Structure 1
């Protein structure tokens, strides 16, 4: 049984146990993640999710007459619906809110653990939430023989390939519902059952057909769906349905995911409304520092080689949709390292404990993902596993600095190790120049770096010793800040 607990398990105001100390965090980040201030921040987030859901439900009274807009509305309702998690407490939006560019919206969690708790609040995943802005524009995962690389997909490890639905964003949306460390349902049929009880059922049937919820649910469905996953090994689909109803539930689950992807592709989420876009359109001008940063980005900094700003026929997505290992250090603040003992339901998230090394794309290709695998692995790609160990998808830089306030902390890297844009830029610049940190070294992040989590397939040609000055690092940060959506050009 685990000996640590998270603040959610206690009455309001009680402080959670300081389990991060056991993870040997550097002194700079030794605070408990669920302090009273964190609990207050979480409470504000939950209230804001409820408010957005309530406002969006009002739109059911006067539906758009366009099917595309109906799908977007349905997708938004699904995204903000906490009833779709096992304990009815965690919407998708808990990890993806607009004020942070649809990534982690809790400053103190970003500053400490990097990873977010699931519906079972003592369970954490091994990675930080990715943004889902611009995610629907990622191509279906494919092997580009000319460049000898996999391209496309969603998730840090590309496991939402899009090969089945033709849409990586939709397949990504199918991962969290049954991931035990996220929304925690034991069966995809539980998502469908819960959706059938919600106010948007009529809209769903109008969009996808009256057959969507025409399922003969077993009498024990409530009890089954209130039980956190994973299901027992001998009963992988614990909502016992006929073959026809199982097929219908699977189709409806696909349609739920496609609706969410439709919302993510909408202008409300994927807007191309940054200052950078205004500059491209001739409606704004970079400051001198921003212009210098853009020149460094495309030149000395070599950023544009992976975070592409577009080319003929390309939208400037600031990613090439490939994967790379930049040598990110392990994040000792991840509670996942401590999830090596059975929880109160007997579930062990991480049987490797503190020895866990995230294999990224390579681990997916070799074994699938241990917690959620929305897409099947193409067996023909298994030979690529060793060449992709430790590699993670190159994220878009759009909205990379979007935050609700200047003092709000965002986390960067697949594991949330970096806590500022300046820090990760400094890492790209000096990874191979600065010495390795001693344990609890006060210079960490400025004058030294810890060893990489893994050196397998580490990118040594485009990062590590860029020779940038401090001024050029700051200019790069200033340029990336122009990629925040919602810019309003000054009217002349």
Structure 2
């Protein structure tokens, strides 16, 4: 039968059986209707049901156009430790391309650590870390998409005019002027986070300024960068409104970082993207079965929807809690209440933002706290969160050794009252899949891995940076 592919006892109509939400090709629809009318009813009865439409393919028009000179400058800044309080960690340390733009850890070690990825260790000197980073380092793929309106696991940064500066952010009305995009606004917050890049109070002038007020540190960082002659020259060349280095502020630094990240890690050339663009042979039979499950029986697309495979909303999955948690101000206990920490609404308790899925194969471990080391594990948790939580073991968490922190690592996991509160919030219902169906679903998720966008990024890792500080390499 022309144009049909037999799959798992039913039939797959190639792109014909999936309808893009934005299609307006009425002629194509008429031809498809004619094809369906010519197919025996038994075919429809044996074809797997599809619960959601496929999205239209991503293309360059779906992404913000960033300046390449600014991106080249941003590349150097991204790998330069000059932006950290103690000059000992760069953005790339926790978001390294060799680790899928993450760090390979469940909960990482930011400022006060040494090494990269699984080899990163916590220093034991006087200024040793006082806390693990409370949440998993997310991947940086496709953060330049125009559709994006919310960032961070708890959504504490979003496009909004609540403070008359274009964004709802932790800086509120003290957010600097001149931030051009959501990604640019995001870039400035790790720089002033104590356990990520700023350091402990009294260790350096950056941490001390943050302790006074969040916006007090950014001018100090900007001056630290712009007085380096090579950086000063590059800012003048990259930004039309900058005539001399003394004009550089944290906003130019952030906009350059955003330009680099957006251009470097835009990815829509995976087998799935090729399939969406019309190549029916881009997916294997196993991946096609997984696609059917993703958009049908497994119900993944109810949250991982649209072109970015995320509804950008917040859901409670009941992931095993551990680590210090990102606690609310004055919270008397170690825990992470997710979106509620930003909104202060009880109905948002333990809910976290739906991640985008391009290149998800590269960004293990999974979950807002990196609870699962494998794709299969996080998939099985989505299918039966209660059973997976019951069987989860603390040794599944990849936590760098830090003996002085270990007594608190699983306090929340062993707190029966907090776990009971945690259990009252679930936004997913159990779904029964066979082992083969789960394998098919994982195969489809691996079909979301980019090809050239992953192996040949536009910029790569620089040989050196203007500050002369070491560059993190795998």
Q: TM-score, normalised by structure 1?
A: 0.59
Quote the RMSD (CA, aligned, Å): 3.2
In 2, distance between residues paired with 1:479 and 1:171?
A: 33
Q: Shift of the alpha carbon at 1:352?
A: 6.0
Q: Shift of the alpha carbon at 1:156?
A: 0.6
Q: Shift of the alpha carbon at 1:84?
A: 1.2
Residues 282-321 of structure 1 correspond to what in structure 2 (within 5 A)? Answer: 282-283=278-279, 284-308=281-305, 310=306, 316-321=307-312
Residue of structure 2 equivalent to 1:280: 276
In 1, distance between residues paired with 2:226 and 2:237?
A: 13
Residues 239-258 of structure 1 correspond to what in structure 2 (within 5 A)? Answer: 252-258=249-255
Q: Shift of the alpha carbon at 1:115?
A: 1.5
Residue of structure 2 equivalent to 1:196: 226
Q: Shift of the alpha carbon at 1:362?
A: 1.6
Q: Shift of the alpha carbon at 1:476?
A: 0.8
Residue of structure 1 equivalent to 2:352: 392
In 2, distance between residues paired with 1:205 and 1:390?
A: 45
Residues 20-419 of structure 1 correspond to what in structure 2 (within 5 A)? Answer: 68-104=67-103, 106=104, 110=105, 114-121=106-113, 122=129, 123-137=131-145, 139=147, 152-163=149-160, 164=166, 165=179, 167-184=181-198, 185-186=206-207, 187-198=217-228, 199-208=230-239, 209-210=241-242, 213-214=245-246, 252-266=249-263, 268-283=264-279, 284-308=281-305, 310=306, 316-331=307-322, 334=323, 336=324, 355-366=333-344, 385-402=345-362, 410-419=364-373
**Deviant stretches of 4+, over 4 Å:** 349-353, 437-442, 449-454
Q: Shift of the alpha carbon at 1:351?
A: 7.8
In 2, distance between residues paired with 1:119 and 1:320?
A: 32
In 2, distance between residues paired with 1:75 and 1:440?
A: 38
SS of the equivalent of 2:158 reads coil
Q: Does 1:455 find its partner at 2:422? A: yes
Deviation per CA, 1:339-386: give whole Å up to 9, x if none. Answer: 99xxxxxxxx99868x322122221123xxxxxxxxxxxxxxxxxx22
Residues 414-425 of structure 1 correspond to what in structure 2 (within 5 A)? Answer: 414-425=368-379
In 2, distance between residues paired with 1:365 and 1:192?
A: 31
SS of the equivalent of 2:273 reads helix
SS of the equivalent of 2:77 reads helix
Quickly say closer, same or farther: Cα 1:328–1:212, change in 2 above 3 A. farther
Q: Which is greater in Rg?
A: 2
In 2, distance between residues paired with 1:160 and 1:438?
A: 31
Quickly say closer, same or farther: Cα 1:211–1:386, change in 2 above 3 A. farther
Q: Shift of the alpha carbon at 1:306?
A: 0.7
Contact kept? 1:362, 1:391, Cα under 8 Å: yes
In 2, distance between residues paired with 1:292 and 1:67?
A: 37
Contact kept? 1:390, 1:457, Cα under 8 Å: no
Q: Shift of the alpha carbon at 1:433?
A: 5.0
Q: TM-score, normalised by structure 2?
A: 0.61
In 1, distance between residues paired with 2:69 and 2:182?
A: 21
SS of the equivalent of 2:360 reads coil
In 1, distance between residues paired with 2:296 and 2:81?
A: 45
Q: Shift of the alpha carbon at 1:194?
A: 2.1
Number of residue pairs the alignment of both structures matches:
318
SS of the equivalent of 1:161 reads strand
Deviation per CA, 1:134-179: give whole Å up to 9, x if none. Answer: 1222646xxxxxxxxxxx3111111122333462211111110010
In 2, distance between residues paired with 1:411 and 1:182?
A: 19
Quickly say closer, same or farther: Cα 1:435–1:173, change in 2 above 3 A. closer
Quickly say closer, same or farther: Cα 1:139–1:364, change in 2 above 3 A. farther
Quickly say closer, same or farther: Cα 1:206–1:426, change in 2 above 3 A. same
SS of the equivalent of 1:181 reads helix
Runs of 5+ in structure 2 lacking a partner? 1-64, 114-128, 161-165, 167-178, 199-205, 208-216, 397-412, 454-474
Q: Shift of the alpha carbon at 1:275?
A: 1.5
In 2, distance between residues paired with 1:282 and 1:481?
A: 19
Quick one: which of 468, 472, 476 aligns to 2:441?
A: 476
In 2, distance between residues paired with 1:434 and 1:130?
A: 22
Quickly say closer, same or farther: Cα 1:278–1:441, change in 2 above 3 A. closer
In 1, distance between residues paired with 2:348 and 2:192?
A: 26
Runs of 5+ in structure 1 lacking a partner? 1-65, 141-151, 215-247, 311-315, 341-348, 367-384, 404-409, 443-448
Q: Shift of the alpha carbon at 1:131?
A: 1.2
